[in-house]
Structures are given as structure tokens and as C-alpha cells.
Amino acid sequence: MTLTPIVGQHDAAVNTVQVRVGVNEHLANKTLPAEFYDRYLSRAAKNRQPDPNPASDEIQLELSPQELAVGLQYSLTRGLPDLQEWVYGLQTTSHGREKDEGWSVSIGAGSQDLIYKAVTALVNPGEAVLIEAPVYAGVLPIFQTLDCEMIEVETDAQGIRSDSLRSTLDSWPASKPKPKVLYTVPFGCNPTGMTATLKRRLEVLELSREHGFLILEDDPYYYLYYGTTPRPPSYFDLEKKQPEIGRVVRFDSLSKVLSSGIRLGFVSAPEPIVRAMELHTMMANLQPSSLSQVIALKLLKTWGYAGFRAHTERVSQFYREKRDIFEVALRRHLAGLAEWTTPEAGMFVWFKLLLGTAADGGPAEDSESIIRTKAFEHGVLALPGTVFLPSGRKTAYVRASFSLLPPDEVNEALKRLKVAIIDARDSA
């Protein structure tokens, strides 16, 4: 069989604009005990019963009869043992985490599957949760289904605003339980494209320790970093330098670097949490696809870790070039009509439409009305920023994906959007 990894993956919802470090070294790296997680696990979770070729991106793979037999049979709930071992090795090479530190891995049907199971294992219905805003819209239904109180955490181009987060937590009502989790996409955030700085990550980790929340690190764009400065360490990596290990639940995905259709992701988290997620899988879908795992494992083992890294570097270069083309077109068509920060990872641009003055004399802040009326009339589809805000409040921002559009379509789309913005401003 021939398997060509796809480098042009994109968010299915967005084929658019078609857009304190430890003070005592003896405490460092202390693994939190299993009992620690009892207060985090939800009632539902507690009650459940039991050699690469760098010159080419095309590789000829042939499954042996034994491998095919494995792919056509049931397997372990956490995934194929060999694939689990490969993931352990990847987390060592990429994040410096060793297998004996109290964390485990589990394979899932994409990281979305794992995020849902982690949230339902940790959060009880009606509880408050911390969510960076803007946020990946795909997680909002998870929290909405649990009727959670979603507390928006401000972000900017440097990531989560730790000062704002501290203010929220320091002023939290004493009679009300504090949030147990914080959800964030720290690299190439969908939708904003922001990548959190090292300083911000360390500050958020310190707040996690001070206020007792877990960090849900959703990181599908980690390997799609193409910034001019070295890649910041992940939360999963950085927590090694904290007085305690075990406050980060990390999610990785093969969707953006291999294939979205293969539906494989993996979680790296404290064993009690992974165990709770495993029980959920046993009841819901039993296991991730054996055949998908066999195919992915064959490719990953053929590449090796060095080959996997070389492949992801080619993929990140692909997206950097796409970003550059998109930004040139943005400057050409929307200079003076929009503002944005250049993304350093991922496949999204988050830009603010300068819509003029509202009826109350302030700046107009409703991109949705423009996108759903004027832009649509001019044949442009984009996602208004309001869909990425838990509160659903109005915003002047729009998200665009530059993953697959060829240059001529990028230019045409932004040209039409320019006309739509001017039309909306003139008729306001």
C-alpha cells in the first residue's frame, strides 16, 4: 500500500475566507499521589467500573499478514502496546518526560475524543471551568452539555494574560468552589494563531499550583511552529521544573501532521486521570481503531523519531509559506481596514475589522453582521469571531484559515471582503 501523509489539513469548520519555579530543590519533580486526584475526578468517573527518507514525503508501506491481522482484531482500550511505547518515546524526545514520572498515555479516536473524556472525568455538571478566550469552538459543546459556568480568561498575542487570570482567581468568592481545570491551545491557537510565550506559560503554571487547577493542554499545532525564535517548551515539559508533577493533561493529535481521517490522537496525563478516561472508552467505543493504529504505527516506526521530526518540519514550512502568501494579500487588500498579529504556528489568522463608528459613538464591534450579510452577498465565507467566545458576545474579529487556498483564491477572497467592509461602512 502507498500512504502519502497529507500536509494540507485544515479545520473542517473553516475552509474559509474562502479564513515560580520551585524554591526547594528537594521538592522538585515530586509526583502527586493518586489520592490527590480524587477531588478532581467527577462523580461519574468515580462511579464507573472496570531510517527516514528526508528528501521525500512519500513512503511505500506494506503491511505484513501479521500486522494486518492485528489491525483487523480488537485491541487494548488504551491502544496498541507498540503504539503506546512509541508515544512514550516521543514525549521523551520532544518534552523530556520520562515514563517513570507517574504519567501514562492513551490513544484515542482523535484528540477531540480524548478531550471530551478528560473533561467528563474531571468536571461535574454545573461546575465552573476556566477557558481561554477566544477559544477553539469545538470544545464549547463539551462544556455546554455539562452546563458548566465557562469563565473566560483573557488572551493576547503572548498567550493567556496571567495578570487577568490571577485577578479572577484571587477575587474568587470564598463560598464557591474554584475551577478545577483550565483549557488552552498554547501553540498556533485556533482561532487567534497566538503562541504563548515562555514567561506566560511559567506564570500560568505557578497559578495552577497556587489555586489548584489542572491545565488541559490541547496542542495539535505544537509541531506546526514556524516562528523566528526557538519553540517555547510545552506545559508538559515545563512542569518538570515545578515543585510537583501532575497538573498538566496534554493532548496531541496526528490530524494536522499525518491525516485527519485516520482519527488518532493521544493523551499524556497522570495515571488516575488516564484510568478514568479508559473506563469511559470501555463503555463508549471500546477502543480506537486497530487498523488506523497499525497503519500509523507502520509509518511512524519506518520514519523513526528523527524522520517524524523531519516530516513535521516540512509540514510547518508548508504552513509558513501559506501564511506568508495570505499576509501579503491581507496587506494588499485590507490595510487600513483590518488589524492583525502575524501568527507563528498553525494555520489561522485572527484579524479585527475596522468597521467605523457605531450608533453610540464608539467603534463598531460586530463582524458577524458583516460576514452574514455584506460578505455573503459578495461571495465570501468566513467565521465571525463571536463563535469562538463562550459568552457569544459581539466582536469585530474574524478568523480565516490559510491551509489550502491557492494564492489566486486568497487574493480574490480578500478583495471581495474589502469591498464588503467598505460597503458596510458606507451604509452604516
- Helices 290-334 and 81-95, axial angle in degrees (round to 10): 40
Residue 319 has pLDDT above 80, yes or no: yes
Identify the sign of the CA torsion 84, 94, 404, 333.
positive
Q: Give residue 30's pLDDT.
A: 46
> In the Cβ-directed half-sphere of 82, how many Cα atoms lie within 13 Å?
13
pTM as predicted: 0.87
Domains present along the chain, CATH in parentheses:
2-67 (no CATH), 77-303 (3.40.640.10), 316-427 (3.90.1150.10)
Can you name the residues that pair with 155 across neighbouring β-strands? 160
Q: Give residue 40's pLDDT.
A: 57
For residues 196 and 234, the answer to whether their CB atoms sit within 8 Å is no
Residue 141 has pLDDT above 50, yes or no: yes
Over residues 4-56, the pLDDT tens digits come to: 333 334 443 333 344 332 323 333 344 445 655 566 566 666 666 654 444 45
Of 228, 226, 241, 238, the C-alpha closest to 201 is: 238
Average pLDDT, rounded, for the chain: 87
Over residues 228-284, the pLDDT tens digits come to: 999 999 999 999 988 889 999 999 999 999 988 999 999 999 999 999 999 999 999
Measure the CA angle with vertex 231, ends 227 and 236; round to 5°.
140
R_g of the chain computed on alpha carbons: 22
| Terminal-to-terminal C-alpha distance of the chain | 58
Over residues 285-302, the pLDDT tens digits come to: 999 999 999 999 999 999
Over residues 370-409, the pLDDT tens digits come to: 888 888 888 888 899 999 999 999 999 999 999 888 899 9
Q: Give residue 356's pLDDT.
A: 72
Strands 30-31 and 244-245: parallel
